[in-house]
Chains A and B, each alone.
Chain A
């Protein structure tokens, strides 16, 4: 009996370091967010003022916050269409017998392994209004009218960020979708061809239904990743509170480091987290429905 108890205790020791780190650096902060969301606190003074749900009420009327949500939504929309469309097209092309497939696969995955800081700074240099290669190129081929300051013009800044984000991200979708396509048995295509199916029919009747779980996963990953993008934006347009390219996570960071309102930052984090959970839950239900239909 004593030996058995000792043995169980030793078993606990194996998971203890992981559980301790998890409790201190994940569970404690997780709970702390809820406590802080109901106070007004500058992060320095030892006293916090309890204000109940006032932070949440304030968020409801915070126009910049909801605009930042739209900005993230816009980036996500471009990522879902342009980035994933490109990823799917390339995956479909690479699924057939192509010479140098591995070569292309290696190259397409170079942008995703680079840091957002490096990617953001390189593209900032390329898009630079005065010395950027893009403007140089445009004026050398006679398109002077298009030359302008891409990242400081509110009309183009967000789109540029969304495109760079898609450039950095399409390799992920490509790898996952190509892996998914390669699990489809070749005999299915053969059978469809024998039955006289064309390329489009094969895609819509064979590939598409079998790929729904993979698409669903890519869509969720894209939404969660794109809604929370912010380091790329810091690298491209700076840390300051640039209104037309701000996104929710930058608002949270700004509320904390800029205006020293830790409670408000946590309340924003909770609202944003809930929105993300609702989106991915709805998306999951939605794709289950498609699967059944």
Chain B
């Protein structure tokens, strides 16, 4: 009886110790975010003096100001654009390639697939330097080409329209396209790996049936493989979306004008210009973090699956 009681007490103490530890760590995980949220609702004068987590009279107007005056509206829409474009591109390109590597026969398929695998394992610190050089070179060639053909275009179209189009390509279309392709490349290898593993395990009976019905290879990919791969596609979508939304350095090097910047870059630019405007900065950061947190809470199972898959290859 006595020993039993002692046992229970030790067990209880141990257990409460564990809960205290877990709660403290959990608290440090959310406190900075709550502090960010709280600071975004204070005014320029109370943000330095009011230590409360949630201010008595929240300044919701900060979000309107951040969106318009702070230009976070532009950055936000840019981030949405880049994330959508890159994820869409990766899904199409990686599923085509993974299906090819898994199901179709052609010489060199093994070597090519292992090239993608190797790319995931070789660390390339500072790979942004040659990428920047590459993008710059393409820009130069493109500009030379555009200036060379502009005299002909002016004969067909109004001059100001030609100039505007060239300016648009130079400042908007080109940097955006270049950034999207760079980011597609970043996510490509892991996505191909995940999808190929999935296709390898997929039974071939349905594809055979589709083939007998007269479906060609592209049709089988579109109507059989893609719908079946939905769970793997979900992992790829979420994983790449997080990656693009959070990317910073290529955005800094490739997207130099404010009209094309995504949120992460916009935050650093805003902080550089308005060093002490904490409420608006915190509002901008909340706008950056909230979509990610919502997506995470909805799809946390997929996200964790993607991480374990990524870790297994790495």
Say whether A and B bind each other: yes
Tell me, rounded to whole Å, the shortest Cβ–Cβ distance linking B117 to chain A.
12
Mask of A209-221 contacts with B, CB within 8 angstroms, 1/0: 0000000010011
Of A21-29, A74-82, A142-150, A188-196, the segment with at least 4 beta carbons within 8 Å of chain B is: A21-29
Tell me, rounded to whole Å, the shortest Cβ–Cβ distance linking B39 to chain A.
7
**Chain A residues touching B, range:** 35 or more
Query: Counting CB contacts under 8 A, is A30 at the interface?
Result: yes
Query: Cβ of A266: which chain B residues have Cβ within 8 Å of it?
Result: 126, 129-130
Query: Counting CB contacts under 8 A, is B101 at the interface?
Result: yes
Query: Counting CB contacts under 8 A, is B307 at the interface?
Result: yes
Query: Counting CB contacts under 8 A, is B185 at the interface?
Result: yes
**Distance A117 CA – B48 CA, assembled complex (angstroms):** 22
Choose among B104, B185, B278 the residue that contacts A22 (Cβ–Cβ < 8 A): B185
The answer to whether B116 touches A22, judged by C-beta atoms less than 8 angstroms apart, is: yes
Residue of A nearest to B99 (CB): A14
Query: Counting CB contacts under 8 A, is A122 at the interface?
Result: yes
Query: Counting CB contacts under 8 A, is A111 at the interface?
Result: yes
Query: Cβ of A276: which chain B residues have Cβ within 8 Å of it?
Result: 123, 125
**Distance A58 CA – B183 CA, assembled complex (angstroms):** 33
Query: Counting CB contacts under 8 A, is B314 at the interface?
Result: yes
Mask of B113-136 contacts with A, CB within 8 angstroms, 1/0: 001100100111111111111101
Query: Counting CB contacts under 8 A, is A65 at the interface?
Result: no
Choose among B125, B133, B293 the residue that contacts A32 (Cβ–Cβ < 8 A): B133
The answer to whether B36 touches A122, judged by C-beta atoms less than 8 angstroms apart, is: yes
Interface residues of A in 108-153 (CB under 8 A from B): 108-111, 113-119, 121-123, 125-126, 130-131, 133, 136
**Distance A133 CA – B53 CA, assembled complex (angstroms):** 11
The answer to whether A29 touches B281, judged by C-beta atoms less than 8 angstroms apart, is: no
Interface residues of B in 183-208 (CB under 8 A from A): 184-185, 188-189, 192
Interface majority SS on A: helix, strand, loop or mixed? helix
The answer to whether B308 touches A228, judged by C-beta atoms less than 8 angstroms apart, is: no
**Chain B residues touching A, range:** 35 or more
Query: Cβ of A109: which chain B residues have Cβ within 8 Å of it?
Result: 296, 300, 303-304
Query: Counting CB contacts under 8 A, is B28 at the interface?
Result: yes
Of A154-162, A171-179, A200-208, the segment with at least 4 beta carbons within 8 Å of chain B is: A171-179
Interface-central residue, B26, B96, B106, B130, by most chain A CB under 10 Å: B130
Of A49-57, A245-253, A285-293, the segment with at least 4 beta carbons within 8 Å of chain B is: A245-253
Query: Cβ of B248: which chain A residues have Cβ within 8 Å of it?
Result: 115-117, 231, 234
Choose among A30, A94, A104, A130 the residue that contacts B124 (Cβ–Cβ < 8 A): A30
Tell me, rounded to whole Å, the shortest Cβ–Cβ distance linking A137 to chain B.
9
Query: Counting CB contacts under 8 A, is A272 at the interface?
Result: yes
The answer to whether A107 touches B101, judged by C-beta atoms less than 8 angstroms apart, is: no
Residue of A nearest to B36 (CB): A122
Tell me, rounded to whole Å, the shortest Cβ–Cβ distance linking A43 to chain B.
7
Query: Counting CB contacts under 8 A, is A61 at the interface?
Result: no
Query: Known contacts A104-B22, A125-B282; is A32 also within 8 Å of B304 by CB?
Result: no
Residue of B nearest to A248 (CB): B125
Query: Counting CB contacts under 8 A, is B1 at the interface?
Result: no
The answer to whether B268 touches A18, judged by C-beta atoms less than 8 angstroms apart, is: no
Choose among B96, B181, B246 the residue that contacts A15 (Cβ–Cβ < 8 A): B96
Interface residues of B in 108-166 (CB under 8 A from A): 109, 112, 115-116, 119, 122-134, 136
Of B57-65, B66-74, B167-175, B284-292, the segment with at least 4 beta carbons within 8 Å of chain A is: B284-292
A-B contact pairs, 12 of them (CB 8 A): A18-B116, A22-B115, A22-B116, A24-B185, A110-B29, A115-B246, A118-B267, A171-B29, A228-B125, A253-B249, A256-B128, A257-B253
With A18-B97, A28-B134, A110-B29 known, 12 other A-B pairs at CB within 8 A are A17-B97, A25-B181, A25-B182, A109-B296, A113-B296, A115-B289, A118-B288, A125-B35, A125-B282, A239-B272, A249-B125, A269-B124
Give residues in A with beta carbon < 8 Å to B: 8, 10-12, 14-15, 17-19, 21-22, 24-26, 28-30, 32-33, 36, 43, 86, 89-90, 93-94, 98, 104, 106-111, 113-119, 121-123, 125-126, 130-131, 133, 136, 167, 171-172, 175-176, 179, 217, 220-221, 224, 227-228, 230-231, 234-235, 238-239, 248-249, 252-253, 256-257, 262, 265-266, 268-269, 272-273, 276-277, 280
Give residues in B with beta carbon < 8 Å to A: 18, 21-22, 25-26, 28-30, 32-33, 35-36, 39, 47-48, 51, 92-94, 96-97, 99-101, 104-107, 109, 112, 115-116, 119, 122-134, 136, 181-182, 184-185, 188-189, 192, 217, 221, 242, 245-246, 248-249, 253, 264, 267-268, 271-272, 278, 281-282, 285, 288-289, 292-293, 296-297, 300, 303-304, 307-308, 311-312, 314
